[in-house]
Chains A and B, each alone.
Chain A
């Protein structure tokens, strides 16, 4: 089967979706896949092995012009290459696929995450490209429900979870995050500091309560962005500035070290009432779990799929600083509990959230969308 993957998010740009699309493209038979991606920086030189990647230059002018170029490139490809299915890595690229479907009858599949279909802007376009798709692939139950609310027929909606790179994050856990010299315990969050819904503020508000029962604790924030200044001021305002460490952006190769060095990962994203901000899945929860660490997560969005409450972590109301403090304290103070949840999380990731498993499922779904079975079996996947 011949797959054309249209994606705005692709390495070298960093992020969860970028990573997912890369893994997907590389785990399908190389001869069957073509990727249309934006041209990004001078450093982008795609390897000769693996799928063929066509970089569209107009990305520098913004998503609008890029989409125009993408549409014409996709149409040309439809004429010359006759792909069996077009896979849109993001709703943003789906108009191109919709157009080609109208003209050439080539089926298309759309990946959806959360924010992009929840935000109030351009709802009518989102609705049209989702309803026009042969299959919509949601990354969590939460996103699946959001897709159904757009009026997409339930039999066209499928669930597909992302995976975790076990080579990077899956090495055996090295004890707790406690520092041998000081006995300081470590709470970790990983994520961009761009949107308030990510919930770092609730963790900071919980710190005075945590310190009341566990005096020596630090909260390491990996990631950077415009909210950093606000979070620093917030920490000062509640008298917790000495417990907060802003680690800034951390290169991929060092990230695993941060997971290994923490006691608990906290990911408290909430569903903002307006603007659509929400966590579609919460891949960092799985990365921490792969490192054998327990997770405290907000009971919101796709985080409910990423963390099994009471088994691999603890789910709390992401606006409730008190509940957050209690959950974190439970894991800091009860080492057996922390180990049990961490181990269970690690097992769950190994069983359920590998990229190979994702790729196998994706192939099955693509074939289902086209209405045929994939010629050549899973054996050809890498």
Chain B
């Protein structure tokens, strides 16, 4: 695992060195630079495969091709054998070198042969062109920018700002997206002029032009009609076992992050089957009684599989790390799970440099209860007129003895609104009204409203980019936005902040393609079911774990924000620096903090605003981290 960066155009070696070293946490083991006329490539390396020989940047035999690479190619041994069969000689045992020889054979098309997570840049000095590629699902990040006649790219956006004349600046056009979603979906970022290369795309920079094109897209739809649940589960089980096995390729020890949920338990189960030694597992839990305690659940799974298990208890004061983490996150991602993710990675780093996680299972398998709620809402909309739902059923539902979460779910179910608004109400942070109100005087004219709605609308439009049925559309939307720009960004940045390589076997693209083509009725039935995984893991993962409701490293945000972290939050949001910046309206913030505690998703709303302010401090006020280990 590594951090890579580069410049096509004028570049000074000192600049390249500084760019590279902003990402020292991504690769503490080694640094490499390549500078030639009109090109510079830099890399920080965390050595996982061919620890001694995999130095980068790496060239081919006649030094016409140079590559920097971040990620893992799980099928590199097969590719290498094939290339050797075609007469290619290899100087190292690394997966990086495979990229060079593949390019010699297949050019840009070589990306089709790669299995794994990757971001790499390959300079072809004869054609004077740079090829930049990102893996199919966006597990590894790539940011890029054009500054004058120079093209810049990096694994982390912060590296780009070391380039002369390109300071970090707020992209006001994307602020609405952030406030609505708690992250910014690609290709935009919250930095002006910085873009993300979308997953499954390659970029070619040559002759002053930048050309981005897709090489892979997930096809969601019922392409295997008639498949029964048993058949699907059997094939899923076999494919999943292979995927986990492939993810164990490493020259250093590999462990697993265990949350006690079905997904990570299934990963550990498959690891335990393929490993002679006990698997090293790591878990974190919170100092709160009741439902947030993952530790007991994870402990049960660990005992079942006889793992070497490690537990860590988190106190709310861990939130003090948040400022540093926003610097590492690059873009503000107000996902409270970032905190436990970072802490468990730092904890795991004491034992293993590589860890498998259960990330992506929910998106792949339709594990979110809101999918089923959404489908139900649509059915009700067809069956009952709006007046009946809103005037009769909604008031009646208020009489029912429900907790606040279910009350909101039922209200969402019965209220008349379009698909986009309904979706945003499920997943979003700030509602449209609050977004309008909270933006401060410095920005009111510069921040266009309704950007989030416009961005999401195509997924729900007839003939849009989605599949015919609404559940597949929701899954496509989540995979293209939430998965890439929240979950995977968080996983990559937080694990890298702790210099740990996180691997996500649920996002093995063959597994993803297989599940995507199955009929809905074997994927989603009732609320949050993950039918296939549970059937495939029947008799393997403990029954009690299979029956559990989902909670993946969930943070008790509402309790924190109105309890232990109340003053922490006030100090940040009502600080003089924040009001001078003028992004957010201080009066609105005061009202929100004083009287907002009852509103929907209050914890998430506050967290989103806190993360924005801490991010601004890190990138605009020069609050650099003393993080991290």
Q: Which A positions have Cβ atoms within 8 angstroms of B?
A: 120, 196, 205, 208-209, 211-213, 226-227, 230, 233-234, 236-239, 272-275, 319, 321-323, 326
Interface centre among B109, B232, B233, B238 (most CB of A within 10 A): B109
Say whether A237 contacts B225, CB under 8 Å. Answer: no
Contact: B109 with A209, CB < 8 Å?
Answer: yes
A322 and B109 contact, Cβ closer than 8 Å, known pairs A227-B223, A230-B517, A237-B217 = no
Least Cβ–Cβ distance between B218 and chain A, in angstroms: 8
In the bound complex, CA of A323 to CA of B79 (Å): 10
Contact of B109 among A208, A233, A273 (CB under 8 A): A208
Q: Known contacts A213-B106, A237-B219: does B234 contact A273 (CB below 8 Å)?
A: yes
**Do B231 and A275 touch across chains, with their CB atoms under 8 A apart?**
yes
A120–B230 Cα distance when bound, in Å, is: 10
Determine which of B82, B215, B219 lies in contact with A326 in the assembled complex, contact meaning CB atoms within 8 Å.
Answer: B82
CB-CB nearest in chain A for B220: A233
- Which of A196, A226, A321, A326 meets B112, CB within 8 Å? A321
Are B219 and A233 touching (Cβ within 8 A)?
A: yes
User: 0/1 per residue, B228-241, Cβ < 8 Å to A?
Assistant: 00111111001100
Q: A209-B112, A273-B234, A321-B113 are in contact. Are A230 and B221 (CB under 8 A)?
A: yes
Within 8 A of A (CB), among B200-257: 213-217, 219, 221, 223-225, 227, 230-235, 238-239
Query: Is the C-beta of B390 less than 8 angstroms from some C-beta in chain A?
Result: no
Chain A CB within 8 A of B306 CB: no
Q: Which residues of A contact B188 (CB under 8 A)?
A: none
**Distance A234 CA – B221 CA, assembled complex (angstroms):** 12
State how many angstroms separate the Cβ of A320 from the closest Cβ of chain B: 8
| Residues of B with C-beta under 8 A to A230 | 219, 221, 223, 517
Whether A209 contacts B106 in the complex (CB less than 8 A), given A237-B216, A237-B217, A326-B82, comes out as: yes
- Please determine whether B106 and A239 come into contact, CB atoms closer than 8 angstroms: no
Chain B nearest CB: distance from A231 CB in Å?
A: 9
CB neighbours of B224 from chain A (8 A): 196
Give the docked Cα–Cα distance between A243 and B113 (Å). Answer: 19
**Complex Cα spacing A319 to B235, Å:** 14
**Secondary structure type dominating chain B contacts:** helix
Distance from A215 Cβ to chain B, minimum over Cβ atoms (Å): 11
Return B72 CB to nearest CB of chain A, in Å: 18
Nearest Cβ distance between residue B536 and chain A, in whole angstroms?
11
Q: How large is the interface on B (under 10, 10 to 19, 20 to 34, 35 or more residues)?
A: 20 to 34
**CB of B107 within 8 Å of the partner chain:** yes
Given contacts A230-B223, A322-B82, is CB(A205)–CB(B112) below 8 Å? yes
A239 to B112, CA, bound (A): 11
Of B107, B109, B219, which one neighbours A234 at CB under 8 angstroms?
Answer: B219
> What is the bound-complex CA distance between A344 and B195, given in angstroms?
56
With contact pairs A196-B223, A230-B517, A273-B235 given, residues A238 and B113 touching in the complex (Cβ less than 8 Å): no
CB atoms of A196 and B215 under 8 A apart: no
B108 interfacial by beta-carbon distance below 8 Å: yes
The answer on a CB contact under 8 Å between A272 and B235 is: yes
What are 9 residue pairs bridging A and B, where the CB atoms are less than 8 Å apart in the complex?
A208-B112, A209-B113, A212-B108, A226-B225, A237-B214, A237-B217, A273-B238, A274-B230, A326-B86
A102 → chain B closest CB, angstroms: 32
Query: What 5 A-B pairs come out closest when comparing CB atoms?
Result: A274-B231, A237-B217, A274-B234, A212-B109, A230-B223
Q: Tell me the complex Cα distance, A165–B103, Å.
A: 45
In chain B, residues 99-120, which have Cβ atoms closer than 8 Å to a Cβ of chain A?
105-110, 112-113
B592 to chain A, nearest CB (A): 44
Question: A300–B217 Cα gap in the complex (Å)?
Answer: 28
Chain B residues whose C-beta falls within 8 Å of the C-beta of A319 in the assembled complex:
510
Q: What residues of chain B have their CB less than 8 Å away from a CB belonging to chain A?
A: 79, 82, 86, 105-110, 112-113, 213-217, 219, 221, 223-225, 227, 230-235, 238-239, 510, 517
Query: Which A residues lie within 8 Å of B230 (CB)?
Result: 120, 274
| Nearest chain B CB to A369 CB, angstrom units | 35
Which residues of B are found within 8 Å of A321, using beta-carbon distances? Answer: 112-113
Question: Which B residues are in CB contact (< 8 Å) with A211?
Answer: 109
A230 to B, closest residue via Cβ = B223
Chain A residues with CB below 8 A from B213, complex form: 239
CB-based contact B517/A239 at 8 Å: no
Q: A213-B106, A273-B238, A322-B79 are in contact. Are A238 and B232 (CB under 8 A)?
A: no
How many angstroms from the CA of A263 to the CA of B221 in the assembled complex? 33
B79 touches A238 (CB 8 A): no
In the assembled complex, the CB of B224 is this many whole angstroms from the nearest CB of chain A, namely 6
- Taking the closest CB of chain B, its distance from the CB of A319, in whole angstroms, is 8
- The reply to whether A322 and B234 form a contact with Cβ atoms under 8 Å apart is no
With A226-B225, A234-B219, A275-B231 already in contact, 6 other A-B pairs whose C-beta atoms are closer than 8 Å: A212-B106, A227-B223, A230-B219, A233-B219, A239-B215, A322-B113
- Asked whether, in the complex, the Cβ of A274 is within 8 Å of the Cβ of B235, the reply is yes
Do A323 and B215 touch (CB < 8 A)? no
Chain B residues contacting A120 (CB-CB under 8 Å) are: 230-231
A238 surroundings in chain B (CB, below 8 A): 112, 215-216
- CA of A227 to CA of B219, assembled, Å: 13
Interface centre among A227, A234, A274, A326 (most CB of B within 10 A): A274
Contact A196 B82 (CB under 8 A): no
- Shortest CB distance A21–B (Å): 26
By a CB distance below 8 angstroms, the chain B residues around A208 are 109, 112, 215
Question: What is the bound-complex CA distance between A233 and B109, given in angstroms?
Answer: 18
Bound-state CA distance A226–B105 (Å) is 35
CA of A131 to CA of B109, assembled, Å: 51
Which chain B residues border A213 with CB–CB below 8 Å?
105-106
Let me know if B107 and A212 touch, CB within 8 A: yes
Q: How far is the CB of B241 from chain A (nearest CB, A)?
A: 11
> How close is B464's CB to chain A, nearest CB, in angstroms?
14
Nearest to B102 among chain A residues (CB) is A322
Bound-state CA distance A230–B517 (Å) is 9
- Expressed in whole angstroms, the minimum distance between the Cβ of B409 and any Cβ of chain A is 34
Give the residue among B216, B219, B227 with the most A Cβ atoms within 10 A.
B219
